[in-house]
Amino acid sequence: MTYTLYIGHRSYFSWSLSASLLFERFAMAHLVNTVILRPETENGVGPLMTDLAPARTLPTMITPEGAVLNDSLAICEELASRHPDAGFWPDTPLARGTARALAAEMHSSFGALRGAWPFNLRHAFQPVTPDAAVTAELDRLEQLWTHARAVTTPDGPWLCGDYSIVDAIFAPMAVRLANYGFDTRPTTKAYVAAHLADPALRRIRSKGIAAGPALSAFEHDSPQRPWPGPAPTPAHAIEGGTAENDACPYSGDPVTHLMETNGRVFGFCNAFCRDKTVTDPAAWPQFMALL
């Protein structure tokens, strides 16, 4: 059983982040073939999907039988139905109902935030002054997230117990609040920090950066500030040296590209494997096993 998942550039497509997290977080990465579409303009997705009718938006998932799902919540529900033991939704009725209600509201609402603050998994920007509509939606997020944690009393940082679909659905919004410096309300601050520290999200961010330079059509001129997530272990690519390992930690193929971290040299089978590791070494368990 293999799914095909079409997503946009990992640095700029918010719902693509949610779909990617479903496979990363629920130990299903081995079941998906991911195809990255890189439109040259903000409105260029449709022409890249002419072979996927009736889909015209990203993400789109194709099931093993050929069903075309081009709606994020439909993808979530289909995966939950097909893999009932994976933990996509919470087990208890109270937590599950709460999670479903919040996920549905995120899916259908928050248009002011989405329009005013473009999603960016590559850069963070100096805080801006939100208008009244954005402020109201920031207040609503704090209310929803506080309510979910109050009624489900989770032990960890997520909304309704263990990480579930509702957290994947809200991950892009958490990134948005971090992008523009409005992760300041009490519940919001802790919840956004949990997403930024999530190794799965960090790996997706690293892949987006390693894929190449920023796309000008999706960037803007706001003054930037350092990424607000955990500071990565310093690392950089090098041209020459002797790696401690003979095989790439991801593919097992022979080493061809090198990086250095803390005075040690490690090798990878291609530039992408190296560069995604350079961006955030601690996010990659296969690499950390070498340390």
Q: What is the pLDDT along the chain (291 residues), one digit of tens a residue?
A: 799 999 999 999 999 999 999 999 999 999 999 999 877 655 567 777 777 878 888 999 999 999 999 999 999 999 999 999 999 999 999 999 999 999 999 999 999 999 999 999 999 999 988 999 999 999 999 999 999 999 999 999 999 999 999 999 999 999 999 999 999 999 999 999 999 999 999 999 999 999 988 888 888 888 999 999 999 999 999 999 999 999 999 999 999 999 999 999 999 999 999 999 999 999 999 999 998
Q: Are 222 and 128 in contact (CB under 8 A)?
A: yes
Q: Return the pLDDT at 201.
A: 98
Q: Return the pLDDT at 49.
A: 78
Q: Please name the amino acid found at residue 214.
A: A
Q: Return the pLDDT at 278.
A: 98
Overall pTM surpassing 0.85 (yes/no)? yes
Note the Cα 52 to chain centre separation in Å: 23
Lookup: tokens for 241: 């040296």
The angle at the Cα of 250, spanning 248 to 252, to the nearest 5 degrees, equals: 50
Q: Return the pLDDT at 215.
A: 85
Q: 3-state class of 50 per DSSP?
A: helix
Please return the burial class of 25, using the count of CB atoms within 10 Å of its CB with bins 0-12, 13-18 and 19+. Answer: buried
Instruction: Give strand pairing partners of 168.
Output: none
Q: Return the pLDDT at 41.
A: 56
Cα(53)–Cα(48) distance, integer angstroms: 11
Between strands 60-62 and 264-268, the pairing is unpaired
Q: Return the pLDDT at 259.
A: 98
H/E element holding 253? none
Q: Return the pLDDT at 44.
A: 67
Q: Return the pLDDT at 42.
A: 56
Q: 3-state class of 235 per DSSP?
A: coil
Cα(103)–Cα(145) distance, integer angstroms: 11
Cα(68)–Cα(55) distance, integer angstroms: 7
